Amino acid sequence: MEITTTAPILTKGRNPVEPEKLIRREPVDPSAFKRMIRQMGLKVTQQRMAILESLSAGRAHVTAQEVFEMVNAKYPEIGFATVYRFLRKMAEQSMVTEVRMGGLPARYELTPRRHHDHLTCVQCSQIVEFESPQIETLQEMVAKEHNFRLTHHVLELYGICPRCQTE
Amino acid sequence: MEITTTAPILTKGRNPVEPEKLIRREPVDPSAFKRMIRQMGLKVTQQRMAILESLSAGRAHVTAQEVFEMVNAKYPEIGFATVYRFLRKMAEQSMVTEVRMGGLPARYELTPRRHHDHLTCVQCSQIVEFESPQIETLQEMVAKEHNFRLTHHVLELYGICPRCQTE
DNA sequence: GAGTAACTGATAACGATTGTCAATTCAGTT
DNA sequence: AACTGAATTGACAATCGTTATCAGTTACTC
């Protein structure tokens, strides 16, 4: 593979922004990405840097395909297998969080500092994040009751968002 | 329907069996199945009767493939497309409940009278059912806060079961 | 019992994801 | 800076679970 030809890999442009789901993560400098990758015990490659770049710049809850397209727009030489592989590796190490809704393709987000769950509109797919420490606590209690050691959980609420209700 | 002579294509599924998750549903007589099917606005066919029969006799949380294999053992003429189609139709009408864990094949159970969620062992796949009205209530509150009209939810807890912890 | 729409089985097609493998690149070592 | 082994890559094939297609069959209304 070759990413030779042009300029530094990190040409700092801006990415198209979705109307409502705005960028909401703090800017991350390249050395932070490198640290992340090394922390996972992996080699720092240009493709992985590019993937992290796109992932952190774009909106949250993207599919692997969407990540691939973002990356591919900037670096057409990068193949989708690389994107899938890296996402999987990161998911294994909890560097990204995988959210699966029904039979739809998995969506990923860089694991947020604060844990949260999702409230999804079944009509327009809008995703609202929420936190409920009370629910978390109850979950722990349920696990304890059955003598399970809890590793993680999936809580997805589905409904109709305010806007879709009026239509 | 015609009894063909050719052997059916059996794509052998090899999912781990839950040793302790035994039959736990009350016996259902055929006329009840017929009623169920008619209630969905569908025609009563031998295949659908066979599928319901297997579904209610076997253990809970089975994959479509497993349902197919159960049905197929008794009625080799029934194709898997029929099983998938009927399961989907029943899921649409909430006659069966679909549970998806990670990227694994969907698992089905006849919709239980009482709503419950699942606690799954990440090592041996054992599934424990639990109810938590308190969590349900909190979910309603979260939805209300965001002005969503809740349609359903997915709550899956993952952990390590007591037995796997000792190993 | 006839008519018709619903249903069926076989098979092809599908989309998401994973495996394969030769070629390339990274990251330590001279 | 060049050397080297192992990790990584891109292209593509393969696999998975699931769905669509379609000609032939069946259940239900009259």
Q: Name the CA dihedral angle for B102, A102, A104, A112, rounded to a multiple of 10 degrees.
A: -60
Q: Is A18 a residue whose pLDDT tops 60?
A: no
Q: How far is B151 from chain A (nearest CA, A)?
A: 5
Which candidate, B140, B139, B167, places its Cα nearest to that of B155?
B139
Which residue places its CA closest to the C1' of nucleotide C19? A81
Please tell me which residue, A26 or B153, carries the higher pLDDT value: B153
The pLDDT tens digits for B2-60 are 333 333 333 333 333 333 344 445 566 778 999 999 999 999 999 999 999 999 988 88
Query: Do B135 and A138 count as a contact with CB atoms less than 8 A apart?
Result: yes
Position B121: which residue type? C
Residues from chain A that touch B154, judged by Cβ atoms under 8 A, are 154-156, 158
Find the closest chain A residue to B130 by CA distance. A142
B101 and A98 Cβ atoms separated by less than 8 Å = no
Q: Strand C closer than 7 Å to the CB of A24?
A: no
Nearest CA in chain A to B105: A103
- Residue reference for tokens 């999936």: A154
For the segment A74-88, the average pLDDT, to the nearest whole number, is 95
Q: Is B34 within 8 Å of B48 (Cβ atoms)?
A: no
Give the nucleotide with minimal C1' distance to the Cα of A45. C26
Residue A140's closest chain B neighbor by CA?
Answer: B157
How confident is residue A120, by pLDDT bands cut at 50, 70 and 90? Answer: confident
- CA B121 from chain center: how many Å? 18
- At residue A101, the pLDDT reads 74
- Is the minimum distance from the CB of B141 to strand C below 7 Å? no
Phi-psi region of A43 (alpha: psi -120 to 50; beta: other; left: phi over 0): beta
| Residues in chain A within 8 Å Cβ distance of B135 | 135, 138-139, 142
Distance (Å) of CA B2 to CA A118, B51, B73, B155 = 48, 17, 17, 43
Model confidence pLDDT, tens digit, residues A25-38: 555 677 899 999 99
Structure tokens at A5: 């030809």
Share of residues in chain B with pLDDT > 90 (%): 56
Could you tell me how far CA A110 lies from the centroid of its own chain?
Answer: 4
Residue A140 has a pLDDT of 95
Residue A129, C-beta contacts closer than 8 angstroms, at least 6 positions apart:
A116, A117, A118, A119
DSSP type of residue B17: P
Interface of B with A (CB under 8 A): 100, 102-103, 106, 119, 121-122, 128, 130, 132, 134-135, 138-139, 142-143, 145-162, 165
Stated length of chain A: 167
Cα distances (angstroms) measured from residue A116 to each of A119, A127, B22, B121, B147: 10, 12, 35, 22, 18
Q: Is the CB of B77 under 7 A from strand C?
A: yes
Q: Where are the alpha helices (DSSP H) in A40-110?
A: 46-57, 64-74, 80-92
The mean pLDDT of A119-130, rounded to a whole number, is 84
pLDDT, position B28: 67
Mean pLDDT calculated for residue range B75-83: 95
Strand C contacted by B72 CB (< 7 A): no
- Please count the helices (runs of H) and the strands (runs of E) in chain B: 6, 6
Write down the mean pLDDT value for chain B: 82
Taking the C-alpha atoms of residue A119 and residue A121, their distance in angstroms, rounded to an integer, is 7
- Give B103's pLDDT tier (boundaries 50, 70, 90): confident
Q: Which residue, A102, A100, A103, A104, is CA-closest to A152?
A: A100
Residue B138 to residue A138: CA distance in whole angstroms:
10
Q: Which nucleotide is nearest to B1 (CA to C1')?
A: D25
B154 phi/psi in degrees, rounded to 5? -125, 120
Average pLDDT over residues A105-129: 86
* Rounded average pLDDT over B124-138: 90
Q: What pLDDT is attached to residue A26?
A: 54
pLDDT-derived band at A60, boundaries 50, 70, 90: confident
Q: Is the dihedral of CA A73, A74, A75, A79 positive or negative?
A: negative
Mean pLDDT of A120-127: 81
What domains can you pick out in chain A, each with its CATH number?
Answer: 30-110 (1.10.10.10), 117-165 (3.30.1490.190)
In angstroms, the separation between the Cα of residue A149 and the nearest Cα of chain B is 5
Instruction: Sort out which chain A residues have CB atoms less than 8 A from B138's CB and list them.
Output: 132, 134-135, 138
